[in-house]
Every structure is written in structure tokens, then in C-alpha cells.
Structure 1
């Protein structure tokens, strides 16, 4: 199987690039972040204490996770449209620190990569999930640029947003992702680092495709 691993902080463009790249290569796109969001969503509606390891372990034992193209299901329910709020994003960041949650999802992600060719993106794909991927990329951008991108997304979706709050939330998320004990966000030694701050999506995509196709 053929695999492309993409990591990067929130707002770096990795999700959009990964989708476009998967389409270009005609292979499956796997958004691992949506898996953490889905578990965070179930934890929220189940009133699970994210600081309680026993409650989280019980949650995992009684959870069926599945994906179909870009849709994600929890216990047979399509939750794709319910997991994109800032509240769920913050909960996902918290639940991702849990060792058992990461093991549960890493095992599932590796299983997918053994069944089909993938472009998989997240925060520990190049370092933990697919350390032997055929190609590895780390996308980054300045916090100002990433905040502007997220701000515009929120405006389009909800009609209002606070740019400074968005920036503050990103800084907190970055700190949590980079300092967590289990699988922190970091650059793999053999990953190609791309700063997308001043590049268009088309330019970044073209650069990645050129590397893959030689």
C-alpha cells in the first residue's frame, strides 16, 4: 500500500491540502482529527469526565468508530456535521492527551493504512502512526496567518467571530499539542517542512505533487 503522511498545527492548511492531494493521487483521504473530535463529541453527550481515566476507558470499550469516505460515524450515527464547533475542538485537544484514546485511534488508523493507499493527516502521523510512510510532510504557517484563515472560516460558517479570540485559542491549542506527554506534535526527522504562510493552496499542492512524482 502507498501512504502519504501529513502533520501540522491547526490552520496550517493540512486538511485542505490532504483532500486535494488524495483526489489528485486517486487514493483515500483520512482525517484523523475528526476521529478525536468524534470521541470528544460522544464524551460530551455522555457527560464523561475527561480527567477520569476509568470513564474514558469505559467509553472506548463501548464505542464503535467507522469512516466512509469523508464521513465519520460513532455507534452507527453520522456525526460529521456535529464535530466542527470550537467547543468540540477544545474537547478533542483535551481527550487526545489520554494514552488509551491515542492507542485506540492509532491502532484504527494503522489498520486503515494496511487496507488501502492513503493520504493521512493529523498531528502525529509522520512520527507515530505512519513512521514508515512513503512520503512525509509537515505543513506550518505563522500564528497570525493561521488565525486569519480560521477567522474567515468561522465568519463563513457562523456569520461572526472574534479574531483575537481565535488567535488566543490557536496559541493555547499549539501549546497543548506540542507539550502533551503522549505523541506530541513535532517534526519528524525525515519530513519535508513547508511553510504555507505566503503560498496559495495550488502552490503548496504543486510542490508536494512534484516531490512525490519526482
Structure 2
């Protein structure tokens, strides 16, 4: 672990799929002037690359090798891989369903670990994912674990898809999220769980502004102690 990173302020937002981590992390990062790491996007990029290359999603060695060759570029809200804008493609339901399978593989997680660590740079970083506070940034000054019921998360995803003109079945989305939660919790490497020192925040009855304010209040408290 690079001890120099202990001097860089890091906030981690972990939680299950569709818990709103990305939206909150971006808002918090913007409010503080910090960089933002969407770690889930890295796993989605790897999954999309595997699907495009025809790599089997259970071929751990081939997937890890593919990950080591990735050089994604995040700029102005877009994501480029080998010059191609994949911002929309990595959010497809096909990629979403397959990503938790790819992310469960230890060799894949090891291959992407250093890429994520390098995202921490001054003036600070807000990182969202599944294991940001437990594995990637255990020294983070503030760790938050966001959650909500599967049904509430499915309803949020349903609305997002509808806004993009994509038809979806709410019950199917709920079942899919419950299955992804199970895989994330039960995987052998970096299972989904709150860090021991994380603030657990159930957002089922909260709006975005309320969640952002809560995280910023916790950050203010944490900063006074550092």
C-alpha cells in the first residue's frame, strides 16, 4: 500500500447496484472540488471489452490479461476506450447483468486495483464502488455505505431506463438486483459489505439533495478530526 496516499483526502461511497452511489459521489466531488472515480465503470469497461472480444466471462486468466491492457480515458463526462466513446454502451442491461460475474473474479480485481489507486490525487478523491472503503482505500478519511431496498433501487433504475426510452419490467429488474446483491455479498474476493468504520446510510426514503447534505456533513465532521 502506497503510504503517500494517506495524505490525500479520500471519501469512499460503497453499496449495492443502483443505490445511487455514482450520482452522490459526483455531486459530493463537485461540491468539494475533488476528483471522482467511478470504479464500477472500470468493471463495466472490462466486461464490454470481453463481450466485444468474445472472451468467455469465466476465463479468469484471459479477462485479467484484457484488464491489464485497458487504458480508459475519462473526460468531460464521457468515457473513451481505444478512441471509442463507450459511455452509453457500458450502461446497457447486457453489460450490467454480466459485470457482477466479471467483478467476482480475483484476478480481475487484482488487475484493476492499481488503476483505481492511481486515481487518488490532490486535492482529493471521491470514489464509489463495492469495495472502495474495505479494499482499495482502507485509509480513506470518510467511508459511507449506501443502501436501499431492492424494490426502491429497481424503481429508480426503471425510471432511468424509461427516461432513455428503454422498456423494462419492474419485477424483472427487482429480481435481477436481488441476484446481483447475492453474488456481490457471497463472492470470495472483496465481498460487498460495509467497512468496519463506515457510516451506513439507507437512502430508501431520501432524495438526492438530502443524501448529498448528509455526506457533506459527515465530511465536515471528519475533516475537523484529521
TM-score by length of 1: 0.94
Q: Is the 8 A contact 2:103 2:109 kept in 1?
A: yes
For the residues of structure 1 that align with 2:127 and 2:65, how far apart are their CA atoms?
27
Q: Is the 8 A contact 1:64 1:76 kept in 2?
A: no
Q: Deviations over 1:96-151 (max 9, x none)?
A: 11112101111111111146511000000010010000110000111111111111
- Does the residue aligned with 2:164 lie in a helix, a strand or coil? helix
Q: Is the 8 A contact 1:29 1:70 kept in 2?
A: no
Q: Is the 8 A contact 1:28 1:69 kept in 2?
A: no
* Offset of residue 71 of structure 1: 2.9
Q: Residue 168 of structure 1 corresponds to which residue in structure 2?
A: 175
What is the aligned-residue RMSD (CA, Å)?
A: 1.5
For the residues of structure 2 that align with 1:110 and 1:61, how far apart are their CA atoms?
14
* Offset of residue 61 of structure 1: 4.3
* Offset of residue 91 of structure 1: 1.5
Q: Is the 8 A contact 2:158 2:173 kept in 1?
A: yes
Distance verdict in 2 for CA 1:57–1:18, change over 3 Å: closer
For the residues of structure 1 that align with 2:106 and 2:166, how far apart are their CA atoms?
37
Aligned residues: 214
Q: Is the 8 A contact 2:106 2:189 kept in 1?
A: yes
For the residues of structure 2 that align with 1:73 and 1:58, how far apart are their CA atoms?
19
1:193 aligns with 2:196: no
- Does the residue aligned with 1:132 lie in a helix, a strand or coil? coil
* Offset of residue 28 of structure 1: 1.0
* Offset of residue 206 of structure 1: 0.9
Q: Residue 132 of structure 2 corresponds to which residue in structure 1?
A: 125
Q: Is the 8 A contact 1:38 1:72 kept in 2?
A: no
Q: Which residue, out of 189, 211, 224, partners 1:204?
A: 211
- 1:79-94 equivalence runs, <5 A: 79-94=86-101
- Does the residue aligned with 1:9 lie in a helix, a strand or coil? coil
* Offset of residue 54 of structure 1: 3.1
Q: Is the 8 A contact 2:68 2:112 kept in 1?
A: no
Q: Residue 138 of structure 1 corresponds to which residue in structure 2?
A: 145
For the residues of structure 2 that align with 1:53 and 1:209, how far apart are their CA atoms?
39
